[in-house]
Amino acid sequence: MIPTLYWEDDVVMILDQRKLPGKTVFMPCRDMRRVIYCIQTLATRGAPAIGVAAAMGLALAARSIRIKNKDLFMERFAEKVEVMRAARPTAVNLSWACDRILNLVAKSDLDIEGIKALIKDESQRMLDEDIEINRAMGKNGAAVVPDPAVIITHCNAGSLATGGYGTALGVVRAAHEAGKKVSVIADETRPLLQGARLTAWEMVQEGIPVKVAVDSSSGVLMSREMVDICVVGADRIAKNGDAANKIGTFNLALQAQRHNVPFYVAAPLSTVDLDTPTGEAIPIEERDPAEVTHIGGRLLAPPEADALNFAFDVTPNDLITGIITEVGVLKAPYIESLSRAKAGLISKE
C-alpha cells in the first residue's frame, strides 16, 4: 500500500489524495503551514491520518522556532500547537495529537534541540503505532464479519485515512486475509467522493471485489438483501457512543436498522472523546458550498444557487451494533464499555 505520509529527512511527504485515483503525487511539507494546508484541503484526511500529520507538522513548527530561551521557546511552541489544533474541528484525533505532543514536551527536561528531536521521533512513533493499532482493530473486527459477506462502507476509512491499513477497511482487509470471502460496496460519498475515488482504489489495489454505489441507494440494496454488514469509520465518538462520521453515515445507519443489518463503527480509542458527553456536543464542520455545487471543478448547479455542506453527521449510539477497537468489539451501554476501554481496563484476551 502506498504510504499516506512519511518523513524524508526533515521534510514531511504527504500523499495528495485529491489527485487519486488518477495520480500518485506526494507534497513536500517543510513547515507547519503547509501541513495545515494539506489537512484543510483534504489533501490528507481521515481522523488518524490527521492526527499523525498534526504531530509531524508540530515537529516542523518546533524546528522553525529560533528562540534560545527554553521558557520562551515553550510559549511560542504552545501558540503554534493551538494554530494546528484549529485546522479542522470534528476529528478529535487532531486535538488528541496536539495534546500528546504538548504533554510529552512539558514533561521533558531536554534542551531545546533535544525537544525538537523528541517531537519528530514521537510523530514517527505515532505513525508506527497507528498501523499496529489498525491491524489489531482489523483482527477484532474480522471476527464479526460473516463468511461470505458483502460489506457496505461509507467514505474512506482505509489505509489512506490512517497511518496505514485502515480502520473500517482494516476490518475488510483482516477478514480477507483470514480467508473469508468478502466483497465491498463503497458508497461514493458526495461531495468529495472519498468512497468512489479512494475506497474503491484501495480495494482494487488489494484485489478485493468492490462495487461503487450511489449514496442514496443503501435502502434498495438492503431491501434486496444485497448487504450483510455495515462497517464505517469515525471522526469522533462521544462518551455515550454517539459517533460522528462523514455526512450520510447516519442515513446508512437508519437503513441498516430498518433492514436488520448489523452496523459497526471501527475506530481507535484515540477517536473516543470522553470529554464530549453526547453527539450533540460534537462540532460539525461546514465546508465551502462550492464542493457541493461543483464536481471535478465543473459547476453543476445554477451559479445563483447556494448549497449546504455539512461534512459530517452523528449516528446515535442506539443504531450502532458495536464499536470495533484495538482492544476488542465494544457493546452498549457504551458509557461503561468506552470508559473502561479508555481506562485500560479492557484488553484483548
Ligand X SMILES: CSC[C@H]1O[C@H](OP(=O)(O)O)[C@H](O)[C@@H]1O
38 touches ligand X (CB under 6 A): no
What kind and span of H or E run contains 229?
Answer: strand 229-232
Q: Which residues, listed in sequence order, are joined to residue 187 by a DSSP beta bridge?
A: 213
Candidate list 164, 233, 241, 322; residue touching ligand X; CB under 6 A? 233
Cβ 39 to ligand X shortest distance, Å: 9
Which entry of 130, 228, 235, 242 is annotated as an active-site residue?
235
- Give me the 190-229 binding string for ligand X, x by CB under 6 A, dash otherwise: ----x-----------------------------------
Among the listed ranges 46-54, 62-70, 215-223, 273-281, the one in contact with ligand X (CB under 6 A) is: 46-54
Please enumerate in sequence order all residues whose Cβ is within 8 A of that of 269, keeping only pairs 6 or more positions apart, or say none: 325, 326, 327, 341, 342
Nearest to 5 by CA among 54, 40, 41: 54
48 touches ligand X (CB under 6 A): yes
248 touches ligand X (CB under 6 A): no
CB contact at 8 A, 151 and 229: yes
Candidate list 4, 20, 45, 123; residue touching ligand X; CB under 6 A? 45
C-alpha grid cell for residue 183? Answer: 466483497
Candidate list 36, 43, 157, 172; residue touching ligand X; CB under 6 A? 157
Nearest to 228 by CA among 323, 144, 155: 144
Summary count for the chain: helices (H), strands (E): 12, 16
Please confirm, yes or no, whether 235 is among the known catalytic residues. Answer: yes
What kind and span of H or E run contains 253?
Answer: helix 249-258
Cβ 24 to ligand X shortest distance, Å: 18
141 touches ligand X (CB under 6 A): no
Report how far Cα 238 is from the mean position of its chain's Cα atoms: 15
Residue type, 3: P
155 touches ligand X (CB under 6 A): yes
What kind and span of H or E run contains 186?
Answer: strand 182-187
Q: Which residues bind ligand X (CB under 6 A)?
A: 42, 45-48, 155, 157, 161-162, 167, 194, 232-233, 235, 245-246, 311
Q: Which residues are annotated as a binding site for substrate?
A: 45-47, 88, 194, 245-246
- Positions marked active-site: 235
